[in-house]
Amino acid sequence: MTAALNRPAAARQMWPLYAAGFTTAFGAHGIAANLGGHARGAVTSLLVLGGLLALYDGAEVLLKPVFGTLADRLGARPVLLGGLVAFAAASGLYALADSPGWLWAARLGQGAAASAFSPSASALVARLNPAAKHGRAFGSYGFCKSVGYTLGPLLGGVLVWAGGLRLLFTVLAALGVAVAVWAAVAVPVVPPLPRARQTVLGLARRLADPVFLTPTAALAAATAALSVGVGFLPVSGRVAGLGTVATGAAVSVLAACAAVVQPRAGRALDEGRLATRTGLTAGLLLTAAGLACAMLPGLAGILSAALLIGVGTGLITPLGFAALAANTPAERLGQTMGAAELGRELGDAGGPLLVAAVASLTTLTHGYATLAALLLLGPLLATARRRTTGG
């Protein structure tokens, strides 16, 4: 009876954290998808566009581990709230100023703010849920982020069409304020836990441990494949003579599959129907198979690729984060989540760069094959390690 009564209260605590995940995803993709066509005064060349796109992710790569460690020291809740307020302020900056210089400052500020509230939200998801419910909690968190990634370009495009980039930044500022207020009201104070002194060598050993490296590498691989699917499947569609509707539908299938699978994978983990190692291996194999399907010509190959990549990455994401939470001392959760998010950002940037580099020297088909081969390395190395150790 007590558990049943506490269930609605627990859900109220989680939803602001899920909304924070949606905010960073929507902000990242909503603006990125519309900069090239609707920031004429600011985007004067492809190099400038690339710089603006890199600002957000670059800030996250540099600052997520820093803010994750700060969340462990000060408590994840104040870092979460501060990051959301800073995100709203950075978004409002361009909404008010509307000049090319302030666009750079706003984009950098948004990335820095997301670096604070994203790992803090992940750490709070872990702290506010018992270990037996981590899979379901991270599955729901990943679902909301996937919705943000999916709706960002669409809703962002509608807002820009209606009122330009200033309207989109205004909506993002209001979203940041709303989620911050919601979190301040609903998310309880979670005091930082006492921590033993950690040396740089101790940190390096902990991050080099397979219990950290394995799920983090899987998360990075999944993010790399997801970015490649979103970025390059439309290119394959155009080469095959398909229209924008067909290629857009393929990307939507990918995002929808990833969003739908994540809560189900998390629930299966919590209920003991799916083991972490089995799920991560299956996710990597499915994702690699999806990249192999992308090598096939025509709509069937593209849709098969989108389906398999979406399902594979949807399996990996909640299981990877749940594994990290299960094997991390509670007082180091922020640091671990920040480091894991760094791995995902590197995959997000590295996957498309690798495929593009190989494609520029050969063909896009070879680029897909190269990334698929890299994803298969994980399961192969894990199998070899188990045979060596007899585990």
pLDDT band at residue 1 using 50, 70 and 90 as cut-offs = very low
Using an 8 Å Cβ cutoff, are 84 and 23 in contact? Answer: yes
How much is the average pLDDT of 319-328?
89
Using an 8 Å Cβ cutoff, are 280 and 182 in contact? Answer: no
The residue length of the chain stands at 391
Of the two residues 171 and 243, the one the predictor is more confident about is 171
Provide the CB-side half-sphere exposure for 92 (13 A, CA): 11
DSSP 40: T
Q: Is pLDDT above 80 for 357?
A: yes
Q: Is pLDDT above 90 for 332?
A: no
Q: DSSP string of 283-344?
A: HHHHHHHHHHHTTS-HHHHHHHHHHHHHHHHHHHHHHHHHHHHHTS-GGGHHHHHHHHHHHH
pLDDT tens digit string along 191-236?
A: 876 555 554 455 556 656 777 888 889 999 998 898 888 778 878 8
Provide the CB-side half-sphere exposure for 352 (13 A, CA): 16
At residue 3, the pLDDT reads 39
pLDDT tens digit string along 140-167?
A: 998 898 888 878 877 888 888 888 888 9
- Backbone φ and ψ for 86, nearest 5 degrees, come out as -65, -35
Q: Is pLDDT above 70 for 379?
A: yes
Q: Give dist(CA 39, CA 57) in Å, integer.
A: 19
Provide, rounded to the nearest whole percent, the portion of the chain with pLDDT above 70. Answer: 84
Of the two residues 34 and 107, the one the predictor is more confident about is 107
The neighbour count for residue 118, using CB atoms within 10 Å, is 27
First to last CA, the chain: 42
State the average pLDDT for the chain: 83
pLDDT band at residue 184 using 50, 70 and 90 as cut-offs = very high
Q: Is pLDDT above 90 for 313?
A: yes
Taking alpha carbons only, the member of 241, 365, 216, 239 closest to residue 305 is 365
The neighbour count for residue 120, using CB atoms within 10 Å, is 33
